[in-house]
Amino acid sequence: MIKALFEYQFLQNAFLSSILASVVCGIIGVIIVEKKLVMMSGGIAHTSYGGVGLGYLLGFEPIIGAFLFSICAALGIGCIKRKSSTHTDVIIGLFWSLGMALGILFIALMPGYPPDLSSYLFGSILSVTKADLYLMISLTFIVVLVIIVLFNDWKAYLFDEEFASIIGIKTAFLEYLLLVLIAMTVVVLIRVVGIILVLALLTAPAASAGMLTSNLKKRMLYAVIFGNIFCLAGLWISYKINIASGASIVILSIICYFLLYTLRFIFKLRPYSHRQD
Amino acid sequence: MRDAYAKNLNAVHIDNLSVYYGQTPAITGVCLDVHDGEYLGIIGPNGGGKSTLLKAILGLVPISAGTVQIYGNNTNKKTALVGYVPQFVILNRKFPISLVDVVLTGRLKQGLSPFFTFTQKDKEKAFEILEKVGLLSLANRQIAELSGGEFQKMLIARALAVNPRLLLLDEPTASVDAVSREQIYSLLSELNKNKTIILVTHDLLAVSSQVHSLACLNGNLIYHGEPELTENIVNNLYGCPVDLIAHGVPHRVLRDHEEEKTVD
């Protein structure tokens, strides 16, 4: 595969997008797992399917449609959550299915043969185009920059939102910003593992890293490394035995997570085991 | 100097405050003045609005009617005058953060501070506070490794890192052991030398021995004054007689009264 990597442009694109995907899913994944926003992220990801459908219907790049829809979903869910007392999971459920339904509707309204949507639903890392790659690079750059620049504020916000707001940190802004970052992350991940499988890449590396360290920065770093291993190894497996790349990445991540979990269970490798008393 | 403040400036001035959650009133018509340097205990049954009152003082819940002022400022104007110690059950105790990092969050600037790093002075201040609350040796522990009492003291340290004039505590001694409880109370009376303290508690024994004044809250303010509970107040507050005399405690909460027989 190494030789092929130098020969084929599509493999180079796949390789680069794997790395980009693992960077965002490592950083945002840790936040999502700690802040218990996994289902929120699932909702945002599935809503973006409506955007893919709209892109096909109106003839623009479907990934741009996915980007717009997921940003709107993030802001919409955040706004309703803040303004009303409705349970968040109810709103997430509504957005989740509305997005999927709109996608199906838009595709049905399209004249002619319906396109093959499986590359958006289940990912198709080998068909990442130059344009996709540019979008992924800029989104990854924004996500990483925003997290690093405001790292100490994020830490205070994630640990105790209430206290952060009392000492005057703009928590409402941070909340919306986080949702937008999740939306951007979802878009980066769609080409790699697809809308339906996004949740695995957001949780498996972060949860695996969580078993190894209880330091926030290190946890993000380990999650990025795990993500890289999962994506590249999954890509290699899919290339070797010719199966869908999204599926092989996801199955590999989840097997690794459970393997780590079992090992930890057997050896009692708990990150907090050095307590003295 | 304290007198000058006390004369014309209350630490907290609450006038006819009502807070509703939807249609449900949590507190109605509360008027309460807390002087600078006071040590006020707030007691009341569950759902009596104690936490709501604290949240209204902090500006965390929308006020339906009335006004709340802290040192003459409205609560929507954020000032570094108030330190808050929440009930620790609401926090994620597995969050990947070290003890000293939690205390340092109290040193963060208002608004958003891009590329913020803590100065040497911030760190010195944090360690100074950790020494004061007796957690210095645990500074680099992850919070998941702390006991309940240590975690609670850490939250007090974080509130102190803001360098507040007014300290609000929401049940700081709930679910901590007796030793930590004593340590927390002696720390609070030490802090009261230069800070105003408002303590919400279920700990009726602490109320009479620690605080200087007492407010009883059950939807509205039933009593505000000396920390001497009479049977009348307690019955009004909890709706039924409450066992106020604990075995082995050297003082009693209730004054002696006629029908009571001498018991040992």
In-domain check, residue A202 = yes
Instruction: Give the domain extent around B154.
Output: 2-238
| A205 pLDDT above the threshold of 80 | yes
In-domain check, residue A92 = yes
In-domain check, residue A109 = yes
- Angle, CA B138 vertex, CA B137 and CA B143 arms, to 5°: 175
In-domain check, residue A194 = yes
| B255 pLDDT above the threshold of 60 | no
User: Which range is most confident: A5-14, B61-70, B156-165?
Assistant: B156-165
Total domain count for chain A? 1
pLDDT, residue B129, reads 93
Query: What Rg value do the Cα atoms of chain B yield, rounded?
Result: 19
Residue A217, CA distances (Å) to A72, A144, A160, A210, B103 in order: 29, 13, 17, 11, 17
| B160 pLDDT above the threshold of 90 | yes
Span of A3-7, A47-51, A68-72, B105-109 with lowest mean pLDDT: A3-7
What token pair was written down for B173? 């001694």
| B264 pLDDT above the threshold of 80 | no
CATH number of the structural domain spanning residue B161: 3.40.50.300
In-domain check, residue A277 = no
Number of other residues whose CB lies within 10 A of the CB of residue A175: 16
Q: Which amino acid is at A131?
A: A
Q: pLDDT digits over B188-233, tens only?
A: 999 999 899 999 988 777 777 888 888 888 888 877 777 776 666 6
Candidates A31, A82, A167: best to mutate against B (most CBs of B within 10 A) is A167
pLDDT, residue B156, reads 94
Interface contact B101-A155, CB threshold 8 A: yes
Average pLDDT, chain A: 89
In-domain check, residue B54 = yes
Span of B33-42, B68-77, B179-188 with lowest mean pLDDT: B68-77
pLDDT classification of B247: cutoffs 50, 70, 90: very low
The chain B residue lying nearest A163, using CA atoms, is: B84
pLDDT classification of A98: cutoffs 50, 70, 90: very high
In-domain check, residue A276 = no
**Do A55 and A66 form a contact (C-beta atoms < 8 A)?**
yes
- Using left for φ > 0, alpha for ψ between -120 and 50, and beta otherwise, residue B37 falls in left
Candidates B23, B68, B108: best to mutate against A (most CBs of A within 10 A) is B108
The pTM for the full model equals 0.86
CATH number of the structural domain spanning residue A126: 1.10.3470.10
| B4 pLDDT above the threshold of 70 | no
| A244 pLDDT above the threshold of 90 | no
What token pair was written down for A211? 């078993």
| A72 pLDDT above the threshold of 50 | yes
Span of A86-95, B135-144, B175-184, B237-246 with lowest mean pLDDT: B237-246
The proportion of chain B whose per-residue pLDDT surpasses 90, expressed as a percent, equals: 21
Q: Which amino acid is at B151?
A: F
pLDDT classification of B84: cutoffs 50, 70, 90: very high
Q: How far apart are the CA of B112 and the nearest CA of chain A, in angstroms?
A: 6
In-domain check, residue A50 = yes
Instruction: Give the domain extent around A73.
Output: 2-267
Residue A166 contacts B, CB cutoff 8 Å: yes
**Do B146 and B118 form a contact (C-beta atoms < 8 A)?**
no
Q: pLDDT digits over A183-201, tens only?
A: 999 999 988 888 988 999 9
Residue A159 contacts B, CB cutoff 8 Å: yes
In-domain check, residue A242 = yes
Total domain count for chain B? 1
For residue B31, what are the contacts with CB-CB under 8 A and spacing of at least 6?
B14, B15, B16, B17, B221
| B1 pLDDT above the threshold of 50 | no
